[in-house]
Amino acid sequence: MSGSPGAAPGRLVVCPTPIGNLEDITLRTLSALREADVVACEHTRRTRILLDRYGVSASLVSYHEHNEDRRAAELVERMWAGEVVALVSDAGMPLVSDPGFALVRACASAGLAVEVLPGPSAAIAALVASALPADRWRFAGFLPRREGELRRLLEGSEETLVAFESPRRVAATLAVLAGIDPERDVAVCRELTKVHEEVARGQAAELAERYGSDPPRGEVVLVVGPATVGRAGEVGGGMVKGLDAVVRLIEAGARPRVAAATVAELVGGKANDLYRAATERRAKG
């Protein structure tokens, strides 16, 4: 413990916690929780279950979406008095669709040290398990409920999209996606790291039909692949036309990304779409 009158300023340690399997906690996180003067957590009872599992007798204080601003100010004062504060959420990395932004922002503004430990993340686990392109992706948090906003998010995306979704809304969301691009690759990742973990991979239309009659249970992460070639060509206005040219340039010895960028500039469309489509066509022979 480090808090004492006149002590040097303390710091904030952001600690990710298991998303399902309690054995996924890291040794560094356990060490940080044991050494902290106070642990700020969403629900003290839930965090206490984790701490008791590993014999950590830390002092807990609630920190959630309804008291973030007030509690952040209190915790900053404690850090200025020399205390070390550990921040956890109920599961995964704090701030990623969980409370914590106000506290990290307040520490940064006050010039206090912020240490972020690596650890479990449902978004990263789902992205890898999806078997969809991971070179370019974005995290959308929880998907919007309004269909118009949802459509704008899903239409013509050049990168893989990772998002949280309520199991009750999975079928409706997939139906919207199927209406936009029925051949879009999707993975429905359910109950990650838990006993009933399941990753269902397929095209949007296929999975919309499956979950329309049998909604999933538990916590769900949706991973949506980039727009299919046909759809991207319609949106970009030149992709299908230029795809053959890109493949011919690559076969003639041109670097794939250079070929895609050159053709996109000449005929329209997006270089990333052309590069991805050409790569897929060559892989299929």
Parse the chain into domains and list their residue ranges: 11-116, 122-227, 230-284
| 3-class secondary structure per residue, the chain | CCCCCCCCCCEEEECCECCCCHHHCCHHHHHHHHHCCEEEECCHHHHHHHHHHCCCCCCEEECCCCCHHHHHHHHHHHHHCCCEEEECCCCECCCCCCCCHHHHHHHHHHCCEEEECCCCCHHHHHHHHHCCCCCCEEEEEECCCCHHHHHHHHCCCCCEEEEEECCCCHHHHHHHHHHHCCCCEEEEEECCCCCCCEEEEEEHHHHHHHHHHCCCCCCEEEEECCCCHHHHHHHHCCHHHHHHHHHHHHHCCCCHHHHHHHHHHHHCCCHHHHHHHHHHHHHHC
Is residue 118 pLDDT above 90, yes or no? yes
**Domain 11-116 belongs to what architecture?**
3-Layer(aba) Sandwich (3.40)
Q: Are 42 and 63 in contact (CB under 8 A)?
A: yes
Most confident of 4-18, 62-76, 257-271: 62-76
Q: In 10 A of CB 42, how many CB atoms? A: 19
pTM for the full predicted model: 0.75
pLDDT in tens, 26-82: 999 999 999 999 999 999 999 999 999 999 999 999 999 999 999 999 999 999 999
Is residue 1 pLDDT above 70, yes or no? no
The predicted pLDDT at position 285 comes to: 62
Q: In 10 A of CB 1, how many CB atoms? A: 11
Q: Give the mean model confidence (pLDDT) for residues 179-196.
A: 94
Q: Which amino acid is at 142?
A: F
Q: Give the mean model confidence (pLDDT) for residues 146-151.
A: 91
**Domain 122-227 belongs to what architecture?**
2-Layer Sandwich (3.30)
The DSSP bridge pattern shows strands 185-190 and 220-224 to be antiparallel
